[in-house]
Amino acid sequence: MVNPVTQSQNATKAILCVDDEESILDSLKEQLKRSFGRQFLYETANSAEEALEVIDELVGDAIDVLIIVSDWLMPGTRGDEFLVQVHQRYPEIVTIMLTGQADESAIDRARQEANLHTCLRKPWREEELVNTIVTGLSRA
């Protein structure tokens, strides 16, 4: 569910981070807020299933989800499968995979079937994350 506390004034565009580790989500959200301030809503989800619910809710509230940063190795649906599902339903959303363990075939699948913008390796550097988001926004 969208947390009204995370909503910025008049922000109608969102970035969604998906990872099963709360500490990763906290780091991503903190780094994004530090770099982009109140330009966006910063939403998180602990699984692909929860993320799809969040996306549907945001879209229903007329909030554009511009970018998704998703882990690859999660319980249930893997990141590449999730990003393919997102791309099929919302092809305008820019997809980024974040992983320490994805194999090249999963990354290739996401590139071909989910229009993957890029794959960031864990541990990432904040500058690398910000640059990836900036280049992704130019595609959004």
Cβ pair 140, 92 in contact under 8 A: yes
Cβ pair 71, 20 in contact under 8 A: yes
Q: In the beta sheet, which residues pair with residue 81?
A: none
- Domains in the chain, please, with CATH? 10-135 (3.40.50.2300)
Cβ pair 41, 8 in contact under 8 A: yes
Task: Kindly give the confidence (pLDDT) of every residue in the chain, 140 residues in length, as a single tens digit, with 9 standing for 90 and above.
Answer: 444 434 444 579 999 999 999 999 999 999 999 999 999 999 999 999 999 999 999 999 999 999 999 999 999 999 999 999 999 999 999 999 999 887 889 999 999 999 999 999 999 999 999 999 999 999 87
Give the whole-angstrom CA distance, residue 94 versus residue 80: 13
pTM check: above 0.85: yes
**pLDDT value at position 3?**
43
